[in-house]
Amino acid sequence: MSLRTLKLFTILLPVLIIGGFEYIRHEFLLNYLTMEAGNFTITVITFLLSYLFASWMFQSIERTNEKLAAGEARRAVYEERERLARELHDDLAQTLFFLNVKLKQGHLEEARGAVSEIDNSLRQAIFNLRTPPEEGTGFKQRIHTWLQDWQLVTGIELQKTITLTENSFSSAEEVQLFGIIQEAFTNIRKHSMATSATIVFEVSPMGWRLTITDDGCGLLEDALSSKKYGIELMHKRAAELGASLELRASGTEDLPSGTRLDVYSLRRKA
């Protein structure tokens, strides 16, 4: 039933109940019901029928909203899968071209590295497509599972502090946040040459904060001096979440062996 029909019923129902009862009382029940008894009876009837109608109407609206929310979540999942497919296609095309060049040049060691890169990309792409966000485990567990798989593939030491509660985010927000986490850790794997990384994802009444760091080098200098597709995508996702994304590199004076700390910080206030 459409909202317009529900609105019409809401307007007409009290009129029909009261008008109909008054007509029946004056035509057939005038000798049986006093004025006080009639007023009490119509009040009770109007209350019961209005309550039943309102309960049915709000249940109908709730079911409609649930269908709309589910449709929005599915649309977000399909968009994410399309992005993953496009990214995987571009990544593999570049890597295969590089592999072909190195094989022709006889650089077998670099060719082996390209094969390893293809293997890593395929592993992560298969994991990304294996479990849609609206099915299976919760958002927190899916992040843990994906990060465990990433750590196994890369061999990079990872420390995690993730304090989320159920229903902290909508399905569409989970897709955006999961995409940002994947992009950040993909950058770490591809570009940073890091040996360790950390993720802190906290939700509080004041908002939420996601911070990802690594002890690598090289990524941010390129990312801050020119536009990179992955970095632009992270900024776009952050904007859709109503959050601010900051990328920065700490100096080397407070870090061992001249390493540098790359930081991805995403924050939204309540």
Domain that holds residue 231: 137-270
- Could you tell me if 146 and 36 lie in one domain? no
- Could you tell me if 56 and 143 lie in one domain? no
Residue 220 lies in a domain: yes
- Could you tell me if 45 and 147 lie in one domain? no
Residue 247 lies in a domain: yes
- Could you tell me if 149 and 240 lie in one domain? yes
Q: What is the pLDDT of residue 105?
A: 85
pTM for the model: 0.54
Residue 144 lies in a domain: yes
Q: What is the mean pLDDT of residues 66-87?
A: 72
Q: What is the pLDDT of residue 132?
A: 53
Find all residues with CB under 8 Å of 244, minimum gap 6, and list them.
Answer: 238, 266, 267, 268
Choose the final residue of a domain: 66, 81, 102.
66
What CATH number corresponds to the domain at position 196? Answer: 3.30.565.10
Residue 114 lies in a domain: no
Q: State the Cα–Cα distance between residues 68 and 74, nearest whole angstrom.
A: 10
- Could you tell me if 254 and 159 lie in one domain? yes
Choose the final residue of a domain: 66, 84, 115.
66
CB atoms within 10 A of CB 189: 22
User: Residue 181: is its pLDDT beyond 60?
Assistant: yes
Q: What is the pLDDT of residue 187?
A: 80
- Could you tell me if 52 and 171 lie in one domain? no
Our count of domains for the chain comes to 2
Q: What is the mean pLDDT of residues 10-33?
A: 79
- Could you tell me if 144 and 264 lie in one domain? yes
Q: What is the pLDDT of residue 160?
A: 94
Q: Which residue has the higher pLDDT, 231 or 253?
A: 231
- Which stretch of 66-75, 85-94, 149-158, 199-208 has the lowest confidence by average pLDDT? 85-94
- Asked if residue 259 lies in contact with residue 252, where contact means CB atoms within 8 angstroms, the answer is yes
Q: What is the pLDDT of residue 159?
A: 93
Residue 112 lies in a domain: no
Q: What is the mean pLDDT of residues 138-146?
A: 85
User: Residue 9: is its pLDDT beyond 70?
Assistant: yes
Residue 207 lies in a domain: yes
Q: What is the mean pLDDT of residues 102-111?
A: 82
